[in-house]
Amino acid sequence: MPITPKLEPNPLSEPGVTYEKVQALGQGSFGFVQLARNQAGELAAIKFLKRGAINKYTEAEILNHSLLRHPHVIQFKEVFLSSEYICIAMEYATGGSLFHYVQKQGRLKEAVARWFFQQLIIGADYCHKRGVANRDIKLENTLLQVVKGLPLPLLKICDFGYSKADSMSVAKSKVGTLTYMAPEVLVNRDGKYDGKVADIWSCGVMLYVMLYGRYPFDTPPGQNVPKAKEILQMLDKMVGMRYTIPEGVEVSTEGRDLLQRMLLPD
């Protein structure tokens, strides 16, 4: 008997909802995302989370993201409820993620990496001045907006699910993505850390990946190392700040110096 594929629910079809579904954009453990159009014809990406699964991180995402309005941060539009979901409407970025952009290119020319990195730092600095540390800055959480007349897309920071505001308690939790995580988050000797400083480390990891096409603390290609051992080796190198610069990739002295200054623990 053929298996009927499970249809994605469509909360936007409920009475009173002012958005119309255009297409599915993706799904994950958090829920799913749809591209939608409002009554004015404007597009939005809407994230749907089960109402029963709401936790402190969801609350922080909504509260902190709603504080931010900047050209290099995905715009928070509104939050509304359906019968089963909490629905978070955000700006739709037409260019996909920076992760897929770099993956497609293999690595970026230094001038292109500089274009994106400058926008990343401007966006992160704005968030920090507004009192918000993202705590999960990575290629996958930076989206690209194609703008007519510009040679390259604009970068926009998204996903504030692990964010921490100055008005909340101090950062203590080991949250984020391992390959981008700062040593002080991993070790956490004092039981707390500065989430904004940890963001800067993550930006440094992003710059390294853009320039070299690999993560700074990964096992070099060609080494047949069991996964568990590879992770332990990576953790050891992260805490010890031991990374190598791949040969055969031309990066300016200024670029290498910037990396060295960013990949330092707090």
Q: Catalytic residue positions?
A: 136
Q: Give the tokens for residue 94.
A: 């037409």
Task: Kindly give the residue spans of alpha helices, DSSP state H, lying in 106-182.
Answer: 110-129
How far apart (Å, rounded) are the C-alpha atoms in residues 194 and 232? 24
List Cα–Cα distances, 219 to 103, 151, 181, 237, in angstroms. 18, 35, 16, 10
Cα 28 to Cα 33: distance, rounded to the nearest angstrom: 9
Residue 56 is assigned to a ligand binding site: no
Judge residue 253's burial from the number of C-beta atoms within 10 Å of its C-beta, 0-12 exposed, 13-18 middle, 19 or more buried: exposed
**Helix, coil or strand: residue 57:** helix
Structure tokens at 2: 């053929």
- Candidates 241, 207, 231, 20; CA nearest to 114 is 207
Closest CA to 156 of 258, 71, 261: 71
Q: Which of 60, 210, 70 is nearest to 136 (CA)?
A: 60
Binding-site residues for ATP sit at 47
